[in-house]
Amino acid sequence: MTGFRLQLGGRVDRSRTVTFSFDGVRYQGFAGDTLASALLANGVSLFGRSFKYHRPRGLLAAGSEEPNALVSVTRGPGRFTPNLRATGVEIYEGLEAVSQNRWPSLKTDLGAVNDRLGMFLPAGFYNKTFMWPRSFWDKLYEPAIRKMAGLGDAPTEEDPDHYAATYAHCDLLIVGAGPAGIEAALEACGTDKRVVLIDEQDELGGGALSDPAQWAWLADSVARLEQAGNVTLLTRTTAFGYYHDNFIGAVERLTDHMTQPGEGAREKLWRIRAGEVVLAQGAIERPLVFAGNDVPGVMLASAARTYLHRHGVAVGKSVALMAAHDSGWHDAFAHARAGVKVAAIIDVRSEVDGALRVEAAALGITVHLGSSVIGVNGRHRVNGIEVCVGGRGAATRIACDTLLMAGGWTPSVHLWSHSKGSLAWRDDIGAYVPDKPNENVRCVGACSGKWDFGKGQVIDMLPTPRSPARIKAFVDFQNDVTAKDIKLAVREGFRSIEHIKRYTTNGMATDQGKTSNLNGLQIASQALGRPVVDVGLTTFRPPYTPQTFGALAGHAKDALFQPLRKSPIDGWAEANGAVFELVAQWRRARYFPRGRESMLAAVNRECRAVRSAVGMFDASTLGKIEVVGPDAAEFLNRMYTNPWKGLEPGRCRYGLLLKEDGFITDDGVSARLAPDRFHLTTTTGGAARVLNMMEDYLQTEWPDLNVWLTSTTEQWAVIAVQGPLARGVIAPLVEGIDLSPDAFPHMAVREGTICGVPTRLFRVSFTGELGFEINVPAAYGRAVWEAIHAAGKPFGIVPYGTEAMHVLRAEKGFIIVGQDTDGTVTPDDAGLGWAVGKKKPDFVGKRSLARPDIVAAGRKQLVGLLTDDPAEVLEEGAQIVADPNQAVPMTMIGHVTSSYWSEALGRSIALAVVAGGRGRMGEALFVPMPGRAIRATVSGMVFHDAEGARLNV
């Protein structure tokens, strides 16, 4: 035996040597090794430092339940993954792994002083100690505690990998490819069922991989599954969550085990809808609770057998077993037969099956029945154990370098519990097993509590003559919770396991208490003197094991993060140097700078053009809904605040939409095209929300109305041509519509053609100037835009963006819902009382407008605000006070909602909501800013052309 690698045995490929490093030291292992097995083979026993006490820790397990051996793997910039279980990291050539939570090194960790101070760090210590002063928490306590207690470092660089995702459907999904899972899959072989079999390990087999007697069966079975046309096999795939209606989330790891990951996706998220689910997740061996059970070299007996048989690695040169269950005996025998010295078998039971004793004798193994380990010698590695009979009397020292624990088995009921299946307690195995299903699911094999590992005794803690207050007997290895912490919680009055868990953090680490929950429960049950079922059971939540954010994000990254919607005219704007802004998912041209023009200069130029000549604006992103049917007018009359039934075809009306609470939620100009057909517009950001709201009312409140809603937002490109010269620009292009003011007045709509393309031509204005909004089928939007731009050149036409649009509308006191309103503004607050139909019997939100607090005096009202200094442009969102000399915190009476430089007025303008605003006309208010307070006067909201003369030309 060289090191700890056995001469023979294991499923590793001894012809393929793999070189890797751990904490900068180079080691060699074989293809098929995990980082854990390869380091064990090299005699490494120290894998990490514990969370709270910084105690040296080795391997406890061989699978995904491992709580101690968490490592970070780095493979180049941005590819740093912390908190991986060494038992699940497959080694590849050049793998670089490092240990965590230690400084300056794993062997010499200054944080280990916490271990000496352990007596002063009981459960709840941090909560009790670092409470005062409160202000110290954010700056001092929390950062310091986080630095000391912790897992690996969070990655700081952008992840260069990409991730795949898919949905999948199957008739039968089997989770876990141990013997029970494979049997379930074999039963479905050759049927017409679509079967998916998933397993978290790199090969199928589960527990059978650690049992050479089953390898022939396994090879044959896997071959049959591979040949069956109806079975999809997913290895390296973890089913992490079980959701409603047999929907299972799973992550397949595609490249982490490869020397050259290549260009493919790193992981793939499988979202599987299954007809039936078979859970074959197996069972996890339970540690025993005694002083020193966390010293490196103390591990689960079944894990040792996995390293022995699957990896050909001996976990030690002299191995002892502390058992409360028969299965550990068989694991010890396996070691003896492989030539590993078994120093002793200690069993807490006074009597065991005679066959076990016979076999132990045959293998020359000393047996101590009715005894327990009461201490473990060694710091970085076991060098001996202390054993005494019945928890009393003198201790005997037994020299060994490894101690196996066999505390019985815990069925893995995690996914079963996610599915809300009920659990039943079984006293004989001291565990919860699946009871009544809540989905079409069944459990098979060890996770259902059926196993042939033998019998055992359920025990909360090994008997010891030592004071329970003086020993550290670990229950939760990852969160450093000891038996005495749980007893302390009980003494402090906690009765439910849900509370005990939160107080001690037992089972709340990243391993979700896979090895600790039931021991914690047993200890609490004993301390409380009540049966386990009365103490309760903690909840299991997804994910079963930690998953990367990348896997959950799937494709949703970079350009695919979310759709970037572009209008049909966006390409022209881009080619003409537009600066864009995002509005909901849309990108819109904000302004069109010429050369090195600043935003302010560009916006001023654009505004001047609209006021003095003509401008053009892409309004395609406005939401549009076609409302059609005999009851269309009735429907709109019920939705909007103002009357709609009397609107004549060919005319437009401003519509104001409230929510049930009476507050403004959207607005827009809508046109009646025919008695039973309306063309509604909504705000850009509100399109989907308004359609949903209207559908909601239509389907649930008024299903009797013969009217239907169709989103036409994307059917139409919309070009606003605004300015005193607008008519002259479009006149030569329009056919079939008389554009003269008498025939086509303000707030009218006509259908005809423009540039030969059918158009719904609106005469409306959001600028206060003569204006048209030209709707054309989206595919022609850009061509019509270009034609208008060309036709407008002699008139000095200027394309303008959303910023100029904002300024122009603010000069006219037109509100923008969502900017000048915030979901608490009524029509009256916004100065839109005129848009509420006083005679209407009802409309959405009407009754709320009569609520006492809605009609009370002193509500915040939208008003204009003019700074004393005309050059001062207030900040949007700035707070407003009546007296700037009050003590801080001042009484704030409102805030600025819109604020711009107005080129037309040659001064700044602002809109603001101010308490009792309309009663304060001419009053001076103040906007406190750092170091000063800006004085401003309350004014009306319409700053430009108050009589509207410019519209009617």
Partner 1 sequence: MSDLLLRNEPDCAGFAGEGAGVAIRLAEPMARYSLRARDAQVLEDLIGLAVPRAIGATLGDMACLGPDGWLLCASVGTVLPSGSDLPVAITDVSERAVRLLVEGPRAGEVLMAGCPIDLDRFAVGRATRTVFETVEIVVWRLRDDAFAVEVWRSFAPWLRLALVHAAG
Q: Which residues bind partner 1 (CB under 8 A)?
A: 164-169, 194, 271, 273, 555-556, 559-560, 562-568, 571, 586, 626, 628-630, 674-677, 706-708, 710-716, 753, 755-758, 777-784, 787
- CB crowding 175-192: b at 16 or more within 10 Å, else e: bbbbbbbbebbbebbeee
Q: How far is the CB of 945 from partner 1 (least distance, A)?
A: 35
Residue 810, amino acid: A
CA distance 680 to 653: 10
CA distance 641 to 638: 8
Q: How far is the CB of 67 from partner 1 (least distance, A)?
A: 35
Query: Closest CB to partner 1 among 721 and 787?
Result: 787
Q: How far is the CB of 777 from partner 1 (least distance, A)?
A: 4
CA distance 123 to 475: 13
CA distance 32 to 203: 10
Whether the upstream peptide bond of residue 411 has omega within 30° of 0, thus cis, is no
Q: How far is the CB of 733 from partner 1 (least distance, A)?
A: 11
Number of neighbouring beta carbons within 10 Å of residue 408: 27
Number of neighbouring beta carbons within 10 Å of residue 357: 17
Query: Closest CB to partner 1 among 659 and 677?
Result: 677
Backbone angles phi, psi at 53, to 5 degrees: -95, -5
Q: How far is the CB of 251 from partner 1 (least distance, A)?
A: 15
Which of left, alpha, beta for 736 (phi over 0: left; psi -120 to 50: alpha)?
Answer: left
CB 749 within 8 A of CB 760: yes
Query: Closest CB to partner 1 among 2 and 562?
Result: 562
Query: Closest CB to partner 1 among 358 and 560?
Result: 560
Which tokens hold the place of 44?
């490494």
Q: How far is the CB of 681 from partner 1 (least distance, A)?
A: 15
Count of residues making up the chain: 953
CA distance 72 to 74: 7
Q: How far is the CB of 176 from partner 1 (least distance, A)?
A: 24
Which tokens hold the place of 218?
């396994």
Helix axes 483-491, 517-528, angle to 10 degrees: 40
Query: Closest CB to partner 1 among 468 and 571?
Result: 571
Q: Residue 774: how many CA atoms within 13 Å on its side-chain side?
A: 33
Residue 764, amino acid: V
Query: Closest CB to partner 1 among 260 and 699?
Result: 699
Backbone angles phi, psi at 209, to 5 degrees: -65, -20
Instruction: Report which of 332, 589, 322 is spatially closest to residue 457, judged by C-alpha positions.
Output: 322
Q: How far is the CB of 552 from partner 1 (least distance, A)?
A: 13
Query: Closest CB to partner 1 among 202 and 695?
Result: 695
Query: What is the secondary structure of 824-891 as a DSSP string?
Result: S--TTTTT-GGGS-TT-S--TTTGGGGSHHHHSTT-EEEEEEEESSTTPPPPTT-EEES-TTSPSSP-
Query: Closest CB to partner 1 among 355 and 564?
Result: 564
Q: How far is the CB of 646 from partner 1 (least distance, A)?
A: 19
Distance of CA 530 to the CA centre of its chain: 39
Query: Closest CB to partner 1 among 759 and 902?
Result: 759
Q: How far is the CB of 907 from partner 1 (least distance, A)?
A: 39
Instruction: Report which of 792, 756, 794 is spatially closest to residue 772, judged by C-alpha positions.
Output: 792
Q: How far is the CB of 617 from partner 1 (least distance, A)?
A: 18
The residue whose two tokens read 């089997």 is 174
Instruction: Report which of 877, 916, 880, 884 is spatially closest to residue 898, judged by C-alpha positions.
Output: 877
Query: Closest CB to partner 1 among 164 and 601?
Result: 164
Distance of CA 20 to the CA centre of its chain: 33
CA distance 47 to 24: 13
The residue whose two tokens read 């607050």 is 829
Query: Closest CB to partner 1 among 507 and 554?
Result: 554
Query: Closest CB to partner 1 among 92 and 762?
Result: 762
Query: Closest CB to partner 1 among 165 and 881?
Result: 165
Number of neighbouring beta carbons within 10 Å of residue 1: 11
Number of neighbouring beta carbons within 10 Å of residue 108: 9
Q: How far is the CB of 173 from partner 1 (least distance, A)?
A: 13
Q: How far is the CB of 261 from partner 1 (least distance, A)?
A: 16
